[in-house]
Amino acid sequence: MEPTDRELSLTFVGTATTLVRYGALTLLTDPNFLHRGQYAWLGKGLVSRRLTEPALQVGDLPELDAVVLSHLHGDHFDRVARRGLARGVPILTTPHARRRLAGRAGFTDVTGLAPWESRTLRRGGVQVRVTAAPGRHAPGPWQRLLPPVMGSVWEFGPVGGPVGFTVYVSGDTLNVPELREIPMRHPHVDLAVLHLGGTTLPGGLVVTMDGVQGADLLQVVEPAQAVPVHVDDYGVFRSPLSHFRDEVERRGLGGVVRHVARGETAVFAPR
């Protein structure tokens, strides 16, 4: 099924990696192309083994208008992506990740966005404004152990025209109070992509949303549709997709959520 001029398509590659198309624009999120059995580096001596195979290889990617990277962790930007992505591809990410990717990694077009800062990309008569949204990867002082993270809001539409489709990508955040500002600034979200999994580090520290927190955030943002990702690819993910599915059904939100299988492309219409 091909999208129309006002629709958006999302291909789920695995983990938090998605390929998003709107008109002539193509964006990639959180490129993770490690193979099953390979280890992702999570920092501070922590690693986790990948349990799944990505649906695409980095060499299969089409020409990209940008990579939107929520944070610099090995399950979101790995050594395969570092070697395989074109050095000139625009990367929109946190200031922390920008310093590293624009340094020894050699990427030449990296924008570090603080919360509510934006960059606009254009191609073929359409544009997208990508705005960094708040995120917090760990509670309290534990944040210092993990890299800063951002969510993002993407506003697609014709160049110089009104917004036609709005996407919110949560990034690896917990459901923290700062996220309440998102619906205040963007009250009409057509699609939310939620990073879940209940990622749990040694000692029991939970650093991404589990099924309950994901359902809570769904009720905060109130998107027309939502896609859960980041649920079963690594051993540190402890909250399976079934937890989120059961919770949204219990709250009567099942009609909002669309489950996109690894390798599947789904088409979404605006609200």
Q: Among 161, 165, 163, 128, which Cα is nearest to 24's? A: 128
Residue 193 CA to residue 229 CA, distance in Å, equals: 7
Q: Among 268, 262, 269, 270, which Cα is nearest to 11's? A: 262
Whether the CB-CB separation of 239 and 210 falls below 8 Å is answered with yes
Query: For the chain, what are the domain ranges?
Result: 8-261
Please give the pLDDT value at position 138: 86
pTM: 0.96
Task: Find residue 25's DSSP bridge partners.
Answer: 22
Please give the pLDDT value at position 37: 97
Q: Which of 145-149, 161-165, 179-183 has the lowest mean pLDDT?
A: 145-149
The superfamily in CATH containing domain 8-261 is: Ribonuclease Z/Hydroxyacylglutathione hydrolase-like (3.60.15.10)
| Phi, psi angle pair for 56, to nearest 5° | -130, 155
Quick: pLDDT tens for 56-83. Answer: 999 999 999 999 999 999 999 999 999 9
- Average the pLDDT over 238-262 and give the result: 97
Quick: pLDDT tens for 206-239. Answer: 999 999 999 999 999 999 999 999 999 999 999 9
